[in-house]
Amino acid sequence: MKTLRPITFMLVLAMVAMLSMQIAAQDSVTLRILVHQNPSMVTFMEEFNEEFEEANPNISIDMAVVNANDLGTVTQTRLAAGDVDIVSTTAGFSNSVQDYMEGANPPGWQVLIENGLLYDMSGQPFLENYDPVSYQDAGSFGDGIYSISLGRTVYSGIFYNKDMFEEFDIEVPTVWDELVAACETITEEGIGCMTAGGADGWPIFVGAYGILGSLFPDQAGYTEGLWTGDIRYDDEENLVMWERMQIYARDMMERGASGVPGDAAPGRFASGAVAMFPGGSWYAPAIEDADPDFDWGYIPFPGSDVEEDNLAWFGKYDQGWMVAADSPNIEAAMTYLTAFSETENYQEFVNAVGFIPTQPDVTLDTQLGEELTPYLDNFIVGWEQYWVTPTGAGQFALPYASFFAPFNEFDDPAELAARAQSDLQAGLDEVFGTE
């Protein structure tokens, strides 16, 4: 009997311990988050997640990072599988089907909302931290708010090496001819003029969006004009665009740019391998991380002959948070977004990733902010956020510089212009039933 008491005591103790663990397990949640590969953003998120877990011991964060090219696909499949709680978008709620877009398929985010996969965050207190215009423009559908936009980005600028410009006595170009001359000066010195993360595909043509924007500043109108036939890829004005895109792809891009991984391009620029780096403002933190002493500037891509046409930024609402409607961790997700949206945390996020803030009390306190400010009042949502390709259109029905050699098969701007229009017209004929 005496020997039974310690045994009984230990058994009871074990049972109590197991019960406590079970109760604790029931209270603790794992919040699953999906983001895309942006090194500075991922670094910030990892640090933020660690602090959040310390402040909220019952919530652990499981963050998955995927290549930006795969984000849309992985988001939709993981939402479909019920395998994620918080997801992100990199283009806001853009590419809506406009009235003139006959037969167009709705964008992916709209399909997710209409199928009840995204959580309506209307009425959440943290929304008050944000500029209402931002989530109306980039996060609303119908009467609901399904995404909070974390910032805008510019994708029509060029980073330039200030030291190299000074060394070769190059003035910052303000018009197209000056940019061409600057590139010629640099390449004569045996240095590549520009680079881009060509291995990822999209950086080559996104780098040339400044040419598109400066020649066609009414980007929404450009989209509509292509659809209605008022604008053609093979008209005189577009031919200028194609000619300049060819020069950009063939002469300005360094040899081998097609093989540079997207993550490596900022470092390559900061190393002095090239003088300029056309790309999105989101690269600024990575450039600074590569070399904190590197002296760089960021200017609008001077794609036009007229200086006044080169004073705008073209870009998009970038990353936004969305929550899975069937997530079993809605409360934890709201706690997470509340913490993220606190002014102090959001300020740190914005400085880390280089976004133009969507909270009115937050400013971009970095060199990027200084570079963007002179033209910030001329921020224009870019063509890419409006465009929906007509059903039946060919694959070249897009204003992409990457269609030119050495990246693709076209050597002649007029030939590409004709092909682009032909491919587009095939789709327009198909949806409008015309010939």
Which CB atom, from 83 or from 331, has the smaller least distance to another protein?
83
Which CB atom, from 52 or from 233, has the smaller least distance to another protein?
233
Torsion sign (Cα): 247, 251, 255, 261:
negative
d(CA 314, CA 157): 8
> Which amino acid is residue 63, in one-letter code?
M
Which CB atom, from 261 or from 374, has the smaller least distance to another protein?
261
CB of 265 to another protein, least distance (A): 11
d(CA 84, CA 330): 11
Among 280, 296, 287, 288, residue whose Cα is nearest residue 264: 287
Contact criterion met (CB below 8 Å) for 303 and 244? yes
With both helix axes pointing from N to C terminus, report the angle between 39-55 and 343-353 in degrees, rounded to the nearest 10. Answer: 160
CB of 220 to another protein, least distance (A): 14
CB of 390 to another protein, least distance (A): 8
Residue 141 DSSP one-character state = E
CB of 32 to another protein, least distance (A): 17
CB of 429 to another protein, least distance (A): 7
Which token pair is 90?
Answer: 């990199």
Q: Half-sphere exposure of 200 toward its Cβ, with a 13 Å CA cutoff?
A: 21
Torsion sign (Cα): 154, 307, 370, 204:
positive
Which CB atom, from 53 or from 102, has the smaller least distance to another protein?
102
CB of 95 to another protein, least distance (A): 4
Please give the residue ranges that form the binding site for another protein (CB under 8 A). Answer: 69-70, 72-73, 76-77, 79-80, 91, 94-95, 105-112, 114-117, 198-202, 254-260, 384-385, 387, 389, 391-397, 402-403, 405-409, 422-423, 426-427, 429-430
With both helix axes pointing from N to C terminus, report the angle between 413-432 and 236-247 in degrees, rounded to the nearest 10. Answer: 130
Go through 411-426 and write b for each residue having 16 or more CB atoms within 10 A of its CB, e for each that does not.
Answer: eebeebbbbbbebbbe
Which CB atom, from 200 or from 371, has the smaller least distance to another protein?
200
Which CB atom, from 180 or from 381, has the smaller least distance to another protein?
381
Which CB atom, from 164 or from 274, has the smaller least distance to another protein?
274
Helix, coil or strand: residue 430: helix
CB of 76 to another protein, least distance (A): 6
Which CB atom, from 90 or from 310, has the smaller least distance to another protein?
90
CB of 377 to another protein, least distance (A): 25
d(CA 100, CA 27): 51
